[in-house]
Amino acid sequence: MLLKYFPLVLLLAQCIQAAPTSNGATTANPNDPTQNELEQEAHNETIKLLNALFRAQIAYFSGVRVKLSSSSQRARDIELYVSRLREAITETDLDKKNEMWLKIFEQFSKSPLLLNKPEETGLSNDEYQALLTDSKLQEIAQSFIQDVSTYFWKMAQISGKVVELGVDDYFNHRSMQHQ
């Protein structure tokens, strides 16, 4: 189930890397309070999205973990993964949070969390597949897709405001030159 959303997660990773950061943001006019406000809004929306991503994964994998034997290797793998996600939620610096997310994402892509090894899960392939595609878990994934859609909508609105400010500044600057 999560694999069908993998391209969306890759796109999200690229967008988050391009998002404004606390120490890497540049402004056309650093003294413009509106520009600074828009950058702060984009910064806050990116943090909210990352936290939503972490919470969705925590909810999803916690739902998987409770249906596994607590002594299984997969349950321990999931607990470690969830603990890293919880740690990332507590981080307040966007640059560090972004680094943590990319590291967690890289670790996830190399992990066997979505693969069944009966000796690690205690379940047959069919049982593990049913567990991963549980309707409650699908709801969590759908909720995350809505969070991503909301993020892109808000970022598009912020981008539109930035373009509008740039155009206004350009025309104001040109009209001043012609006077």
166 part of a folded domain: yes
Cβ proximity of 167 and 160 under 8 Å = no
Confidence of residue 27 (pLDDT cuts 50, 70, 90): very low
Q: For the whole prediction, is pTM greater than 0.75?
A: no
Rg, the chain, Cα only? 21
Question: Using one digit for the tens of pLDDT, what is the confidence trace for 87-98?
Answer: 999 999 988 998
Percent of the chain with pLDDT over 90: 26
| Of 114, 146, 118, 151, nearest in space to 133 by CA | 114
Question: Using one digit for the tens of pLDDT, what is the confidence trace for 139-151?
Answer: 877 888 888 888 8
Structure tokens at 15: 């967008």
Task: Quote the distance between the C-alpha of residue 94 and its chain's center.
Answer: 12
> What is the reported pLDDT for 3?
46
Name the helix (H) or strand (E) containing 172. helix 135-177
Residue 54: how many other CB atoms lie within 10 Å: 23
| Cα dihedral sign, 17-23-29-33 | positive
22 part of a folded domain: no
23 part of a folded domain: no
Place of tokens 């994964």: 57
pLDDT for residue 101 is more than 80: yes
> What is the reported pLDDT for 20?
52
**What's the rounded mean pLDDT across residues 153-178?**
76
**What's the rounded mean pLDDT across residues 146-167?**
81
The residue type found at 76 is R
11 part of a folded domain: no
49 part of a folded domain: yes
Cβ proximity of 59 and 147 under 8 Å = no
131 part of a folded domain: yes
pLDDT for residue 35 is more than 50: yes
Confidence of residue 68 (pLDDT cuts 50, 70, 90): very high
Number of folded domains that form the chain: 1
> What is the reported pLDDT for 82?
95
68 part of a folded domain: yes
Which domain range does residue 46 map to? 42-177
164 part of a folded domain: yes
3-state SS, residue 114: coil
